[in-house]
């Protein structure tokens, strides 16, 4: 009974707030002579703040035209804007900037939805060793990461040197499909120096400095073991696939809207996603070193702490994950 009453109160509050909001919008239009879309475009600076407000306004509108405008085909955006201007009785000659601002916002909104579809398609496509394109990408990954070391054979224990678990990497791509390979190859090719440095660090971990408090807790044998713990050792490729999973979930949840709406002047693309992966990979490596974990068994704890840190940053509407490496030179900060 208590659960039912709680649900009833929540439903009543929802409709009450919705009614108040519509009344407020009506009053604001009468007072300013502008619809909500106009007020957002004229009073909010370009970027995530404006685009996310426009997206919410369109999605929550009682007009079917406005509701569906966030999912139109990119080629239909101009006509959709004309229809919106006509519906709202806005003269484009008197308000030329409104159409331009709405177009920029819709390109980002529609582009983000399409990007999710493109990324999902790659994630669902399994690695196929009989597909020459898949095999070529995998061999390129080796060449970019180990340019001075020839791969002796396609099935080889050498793959462990770049962080795969066995002698055939195809089994490691099952979780993220081709998306993991696409991201790893992009990082290794577009930001070769950083990728090779991260790989080198993961293969040649430092010895930990043991504090006096720790020394007092361990025997001499345990102290020696702790002192030699591989504080930054991890499997590069496996971690890359794991960070791909993090980037994918940030994208699908909508958390990356802040970043993309601030750095992509039009529609965010797969390249923007891959550049973001490079940034996350680079930042996770630094974060791993800062956390100085005892061993790889702490990976999940460090990853979760890193995920929360990124999400907190993305909650700032002015936030752009400002990449500072070669892979992101094409990014444009609005």
What's the structural domain count of the chain?
2
- DSSP 3-state assignment of 207? strand
Q: Is residue 20 part of a domain?
A: no
Res 222: pLDDT: 52
User: Do 205 and 307 fall into the same domain?
Assistant: yes
User: Do 291 and 151 fall into the same domain?
Assistant: yes
Q: How far is CA 324 from CA 51, 81, 144, 279, in A?
A: 25, 36, 20, 8
* pLDDT one digit per residue (tens) for the chain, 334 residues: 666 666 666 655 554 445 444 554 444 444 454 678 889 988 999 999 999 999 999 999 889 999 999 999 999 999 999 999 899 888 888 888 888 999 999 999 999 999 999 999 999 999 999 999 999 999 999 999 999 999 999 999 999 999 999 999 999 998 899 999 999 999 999 999 999 999 998 887 654 444 555 445 545 555 455 444 445 689 999 999 999 999 999 999 999 999 999 999 889 999 999 999 999 999 999 999 888 888 888 999 999 999 999 999 999 999 988 644 444 444 433 3
In the chain, DSSP finds a helix count (H) and a strand count (E) of 15, 0
User: Do 242 and 110 fall into the same domain?
Assistant: no
Integer Cα distance of 37 and 198 in angstroms: 46
User: Do 192 and 152 fall into the same domain?
Assistant: yes
User: Do 201 and 296 fall into the same domain?
Assistant: yes
Q: Which domain holds residue 63?
A: 30-124
Last residue of a domain, one of 78, 106, 124: 124
Integer Cα distance of 248 and 256 in angstroms: 9
Last residue of a domain, one of 104, 124, 144: 124
User: Do 265 and 197 fall into the same domain?
Assistant: yes
Q: Secondary structure of 65-124 in the HEC alphabet?
A: HHHHHHHCCHHHHHHHHHHHHHHCCCCCCCCHHHHHHHHHHHHHHHHHHHHHHHHHHHHH
Q: Is residue 227 part of a domain?
A: yes
Q: Is residue 25 part of a domain?
A: no
* Closest alpha carbon to 118 in 266, 269, 259: 269
User: Do 160 and 307 fall into the same domain?
Assistant: yes
User: Do 281 and 139 fall into the same domain?
Assistant: yes
Res 223: pLDDT: 44
User: Do 118 and 177 fall into the same domain?
Assistant: no
User: Do 112 and 141 fall into the same domain?
Assistant: no
User: Do 153 and 82 fall into the same domain?
Assistant: no
């Amino acid at each position: 009974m208590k659960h039912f009453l709680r649900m009833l109160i929540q439903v009543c509050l929802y409709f009450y707030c919705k009614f108040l909001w519509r009344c407020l919008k009506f009053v604001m239009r009468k007072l300013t002579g502008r619809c909500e879309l106009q007020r957002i475009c004229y009073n909010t600076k370009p970027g995530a703040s404006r685009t996310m407000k426009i997206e919410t306004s369109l999605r929550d509108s009682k007009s079917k035209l406005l509701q569906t405008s966030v999912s139109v085909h990119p080629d239909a955006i101009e006509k959709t804007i004309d229809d919106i201007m006509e519906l709202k009785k806005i003269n484009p000659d008197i308000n030329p900037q409104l159409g331009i601002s709405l177009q920029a916002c819709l390109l980002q909104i529609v582009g983000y939805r399409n990007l999710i579809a493109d990324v999902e398609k790659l994630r669902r496509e399994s690695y196929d060793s009989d597909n020459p394109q898949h095999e070529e990408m995998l061999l390129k990954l080796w060449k970019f990461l180990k340019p001075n070391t020839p791969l002796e054979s396609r099935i080889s224990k050498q793959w462990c040197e770049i962080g795969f678990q066995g002698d055939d990497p195809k089994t490691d791509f099952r979780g993220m499909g081709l998306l993991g390979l696409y991201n790893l190859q992009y990082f290794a090719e577009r930001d070769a120096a950083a990728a090779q440095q991260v790989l080198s660090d993961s293969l040649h971990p430092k010895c930990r400095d043991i504090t006096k408090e720790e020394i007092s807790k361990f025997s001499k044998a345990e102290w020696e073991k702790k002192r030699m713990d591989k504080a930054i050792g991890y499997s590069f490729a496996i971690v890359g696939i794991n960070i791909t999973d993090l980037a994918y979930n940030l994208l699908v949840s909508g958390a990356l809207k802040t970043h993309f709406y601030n750095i992509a002047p039009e529609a965010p693309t797969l390249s923007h996603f891959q550049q973001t992966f490079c940034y996350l990979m680079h930042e996770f490596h630094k974060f791993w070193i800062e956390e100085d974990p005892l061993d790889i068994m702490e990976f999940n704890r460090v990853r979760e702490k890193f995920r929360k840190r990124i999400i907190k940053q993305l909650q700032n509407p002015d936030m752009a994950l400002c990449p500072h490496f070669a892979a992101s030179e094409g990014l444009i900060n609005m």
